[in-house]
Structure 1
């Protein structure tokens, strides 16, 4: 029987939509001591890699590197912790060469 890779489960779509919605709705510029503007929506290029386990794009990796000083802030935020403290996020960080922060 041939598998259709284009079918996506409802739960998967819900999770991806929830992540995108949380990022867009709750993204605010969060202060950090460095000259970086913390904005989780800057990481939306990583959404396909996070939700579909696709390899992260160059844009995703560049965004992740720019937002690196903000990652502890995101991990401490209950709205984002479940996403940034996940195996998929760690996989993306390793692939992009961005060390997981020790907060």
Structure 2
């Protein structure tokens, strides 16, 4: 009986957890951030949304020689921090 109660509570808790949707890594999704990364302008709300969405991909972007100079730049980190999305430790 205790086991059934535990399972019922567990199902209620797990049912309330939102499942994370899979992220498709596409560096072009960060294009709304290009101006903020290449200059000292503030990131837009769309940029912040895209940085949060693409955060799981940032390490793979930094391993790409063509993207590394942009993604690992001080301005990119500043944009991410301004958006409340700290860079992952890669």
- Greater share of helix: 2
Count the aligned residue pairs: 70
Misfit runs of 4+, over 6 Å: none
Matched with 1:8 is none
The match for 1:35 is 22
Q: Which has the larger radius of gyration?
A: 2
Which structure exhibits the higher relative contact order, with contacts defined as CA atoms closer than 8 Å and separated by 6 or more residues?
2
Q: Are positions 1:71 and 2:58 aligned together?
A: yes
How far did 1:76 drift? Answer: 0.8
Spell out the pairing of 1:12-91 with structure 2 (5 A cutoff): 35-91=22-78
Identify unmatched segments of 5+ residues in structure 2.
1-20
Q: CA deviation at 1:36?
A: 0.7
Deviation at 1:81, TM superposition (A): 0.7
Of residues 78, 88, 94, the one that matches 2:81 is 94
